[in-house]
Amino acid sequence: MPAFWTEADWDAHERVEVVHDRASGLTAIIALHSTHLGPGAGGTRFWHYADPAGAMRDALRLSRGMSFKNAMAGLPMGGGKAVVMLDKDGTKTDAMLEAFGDAVEALNGRYVTAEDVGATVADMVKIAGRTRHVCGLPVSEGDAGGDPGPFTAMGIYHGIKAAVAHKLGKDSMAGVRVAVQGCGSVGGGVARLLAKDGASLIVSDINTKRAQALAQEIGGEAVDGDVVMGTECDVFSPNALGAILDDDGIARLDCAIVAGGANNQLARPEHGAMLHERGILYAPDYVINAGGIINVSLEYLCRQKGEPCDINEVRKRIAQIPARLQSIWNTSEAESRPSNEVADAMAMELIGRG
The catalytic site residues sit at 81
Between β-strands 26-34 and 15-21, what pairing exists: parallel, antiparallel or unpaired? Answer: antiparallel
Considering only CA atoms, which of 55, 47, 7, 50 is closest in space to residue 29? 55
Amino acid making up residue 8: A
Give the torsion sign (CA, 145, 146, 152, 154): negative
Give the torsion sign (CA, 163, 211, 290, 332): negative
Considering only CA atoms, which of 73, 86, 10, 8 is closest in space to residue 41? 73
* Other CB atoms within 10 Å distance of the CB of residue 141: 6
Q: Whole-angstrom Cα distance, residue 108 to residue 290? A: 25
CA distances from 134 to 99, 112, 128, 208 (A): 14, 5, 6, 33
Q: Whole-angstrom Cα distance, residue 261 to residue 191? A: 12
CA distances from 251 to 179, 203, 266, 314, 343 (A): 16, 20, 13, 37, 23
Phi, psi of 83 (to 5 degrees): -130, 125
Q: Whole-angstrom Cα distance, residue 160 to residue 285? A: 12
CA distances from 111 to 40, 80, 104 (A): 5, 6, 7
Considering only CA atoms, which of 161, 84, 115 is closest in space to residue 321? 161
Q: Whole-angstrom Cα distance, residue 172 to residue 197? A: 8
Q: Whole-angstrom Cα distance, residue 234 to residue 197? A: 15
Beta bridge partners of 323: none
Considering only CA atoms, which of 22, 8, 77 is closest in space to residue 295? 77
